[in-house]
Amino acid sequence: MRLGLTAIVLATALAGGAAAAPPAARGASNDGLGAYRTGRYRDLFAEQLGRSPAESRARIDAAFRQLFHGDGQEQRVYFETGANQNGPLAYVTDWANNDARTEGMSYGMMIAVQLGHKREFDALWNWAKTYMLVTDPADPSVGYFAWSMNTDGTPRSTSAAPDGEEYFVMALYFAGRRWGNGQGIYDYRAEADRILRGMRHHPLRTGTPPFRIHPGDAPFVEPATPWPSLNNRAAEAEAVKGGMPWPSRRPAGAPRAVTVGPMVDEAHAMIRFVPETALTGTDASYHLPAFYELWARWGPIEDRAFWARAAEVSRDLFARVTGPETGLAPDRSNFDLTPATDWSGGPSQFGYDSWRTVSNWSVDYGWWGKDAREPMLSGRVQSFLYGQGIHGFADRYTLDGKPLSRRHSTGMVAAAAVGGLAATPGNVSKAFLQELWDTPVPSGEQRYFDGMLYLMSMMHCAGAFRIIDGPAA
C-alpha cells in the first residue's frame, strides 16, 4: 500500500498539481507523503475536467462575492453590523434557522483567511469574541463559545459545540501565519492557543441553569416553543400533517445541575459530541485529523503528543464506524465506536452532520497521505451515491444505504466531490467533480450550510484550500 501511495503522489506531480514551496526541513517519516511534505496541492478540476486554475479561481471568487456580499435576502449569509472598539463586527447566519452558529462563524473565518479577506475575518472574529464567548464564571461553559445566538447578539444557547471551536483554532493559526499576529483579540496565535488549551484542559464545572453568557446579562431561559424560523415552520407543518406532536422535544421541567468539562475524551483521545458530561460519545464529522496533525506541530507544546494520537484515532474511527458497503458515517457514535442512540431512540444514522466526513478524511489524505484506508472509504462513498443517481441521491440514509429523505442537497454533493482528493481517479470521481462544477452557488432559504460546504469544497477541489505556513504569495 505504501508503494501505491507514493505512486499517487508522483502522479499528482506529473499531472501538474498546484505547487507551493514546502518549508525547509520537512520530510520526517511522521510527516506522511501528502501536501504538508511535498508542498503540492492537487487541482482536481484541472486534472479531471481540464479546467484552468484561472477558471477555478474565478468560480471561487464569484461564490465568495455572492455568499459574503450578494443580495441580502436571497444570496449572502455574511452581514456586517456596526463596530466596537476592536473594529467592524459581522456574523454569518443560518438563514433557514434564523441564528448565528459557531459552525458558520468559524467556517466564514476559514474561508476568509484562505482567500485573503482580512476585513471579513477580523469582523467575524470580533463578533464571536464579543457576543459568543461565555465569560460569566457561574456558567460551567465559561471560556467556550455559545454555539447558537440570535443575530442581535442575544443567546439561543449558553453551551458549546466542539466543531466550531476546532475551526476557530485552525483559522486563527492560519491567520497568524498569513498576516502576522497583532494585539489584543487579533493576536491570532495567542487566541488559538487559549482555545486549544481549553478544549483539552477545561476544568469540570457544575452549575444549575438558567445561565448567562456575560455577567450582567439577563438569565437565558429556553422558550417553551421552538424559535421562529423557516425550518421550524416547515417542521411544524410536517408534524401536524403526520399527526405527530409539536414541538417534538420540550424543555425539561425543573432545572437540573449541568457539569461541563473538556471537549475531548482523554482516555479515547477523541473529540466529544458536547462537553457536557451527561451526554457521552463523539460525532464522526467533528474528527479533523488534518488539523490535529498541525496542532501536534504548532499547538501548545504540552499537548502536541495528544493531538498526534488523536489524528491516528480519528483515522481508525472513520474506518470502523462507516457502513462497510456504503462508507456512510453515523451522526454520532459511542467512544467504543458502536452506534450511539439518536434523538428518536434508534441507532444514529447518516444525517446532515455526516455529510462532512468524506471531506474530512479526504483532506487528511491530501495533506498528510498517512492512511491507505482513506482512498478506499472515499471510493466506497462515491460509488454508493453514484449508484443512487448522482443528480438526485437523498441527503440522509441508514448506514446500509436505505434513504431516509427525499431531498437532494448541494452541500452533500459538494462534500462528496472532495472525496476525489483520496478516491482513485476515474469516471465516478470525475462525475462528482463535474456535478459540483455545474452546480450554481446556493441561494435562497437553504443557502447557509449548502453554501459554506459548496465554497469550501470548490476550494479543496481546486487545490486552493491549503496549509498556510507563512505569508501567502
Please give the full DSSP string across 318-350, using - where no structure is assigned: HHHHS-TTT-PPPS-B-TTSSBPB-TTSSB--B
Per-residue pLDDT tens for 452-470? 999 999 999 999 999 999 8
The catalytic position among 43, 94, 103, 165 is: 103
pLDDT of residue 230: 63
CA atoms within 13 A on the CB side of 434: 13
Distances (CA, A) of 184 to 22, 52, 187: 31, 41, 6
Q: Is the peptide bond before 88 cis (omega within 30 degrees of 0)?
A: no
Q: Helices (DSSP H) in 289-409: which residue ranges?
A: 289-298, 304-321, 357-368, 373-389
Q: Is residue 333 within 8 Å of residue 348, measured between CB atoms?
A: yes
The catalytic position among 99, 353, 450, 469 is: 353
Q: What is the set of domains in the chain, with CATH numbers?
A: 1-76+281-473 (1.50.10.10), 77-270 (1.50.10.10)
68 — pLDDT class (breaks 50, 70, 90): very high
7 — pLDDT class (breaks 50, 70, 90): very low
Mean pLDDT throughout 128-138? Answer: 98
Distances (CA, A) of 98 to 71, 296, 314, 348, 453: 17, 36, 32, 26, 18
Q: Considering only 1-5, 175-179, 305-309, 317-321, which range has the smallest mean pLDDT? A: 1-5
> Residue 2 above 90 pLDDT?
no
Instruction: Determine the Cα–Cα distance for residues 352 and 419; give it in Å rounded to an integer.
Output: 17
pLDDT of residue 225: 72
pLDDT > 90 fraction of the chain, expressed in percent and rounded: 85
> Residue 22 above 60 pLDDT?
no
Distances (CA, A) of 189 to 168, 181, 195, 388: 11, 7, 10, 44
pLDDT of residue 111: 99
pLDDT of residue 344: 77
pLDDT of residue 187: 98
Mean pLDDT throughout 366-383? Answer: 98
Q: Is residue 31 within 8 Å of residue 369, measured between CB atoms?
A: no
Q: Is 103 a catalytic residue?
A: yes
Q: Is residue 454 within 8 Å of residue 444, measured between CB atoms?
A: no
Any idea which residue has 472525496 for its cell? 419
237 — pLDDT class (breaks 50, 70, 90): low
Q: Tell me how long the chain is.
A: 473
Per-residue pLDDT tens for 378-396? 999 999 999 999 999 999 9
28 — pLDDT class (breaks 50, 70, 90): confident
Q: How many CB atoms lie within 10 A of CB 50?
A: 8
Round the average pLDDT of the chain to a whole number and report it.
Answer: 92
23 — pLDDT class (breaks 50, 70, 90): low
- Residue 447 makes CB contacts below 8 A (sequence gap 6+) with 67, 74, 75, 77, 95
Instruction: Determine the Cα–Cα distance for residues 23 and 470; give it in Å rounded to an integer.
Output: 9
Any idea which residue has 434508534 for its cell? 346
Instruction: Determine the Cα–Cα distance for residues 446 and 451; give it in Å rounded to an integer.
Output: 8
CA atoms within 13 A on the CB side of 11: 13
Mean pLDDT throughout 245-262? Answer: 77
Q: Considering only 13-27, 142-156, 200-214, 226-240, which range has the smallest mean pLDDT? A: 13-27
| Long-range contacts of 214-218, Cβ-Cβ distance < 8 Å, separation of 24 or more | 214/134, 214/135, 214/136, 215/135, 215/136, 215/137, 217/136, 217/155
Q: Is 217 a catalytic residue?
A: no
> Residue 293 above 50 pLDDT?
yes
> Residue 18 above 70 pLDDT?
no
pLDDT of residue 14: 29
Of 372, 390, 360, 330, residue with least CA distance to 457: 360
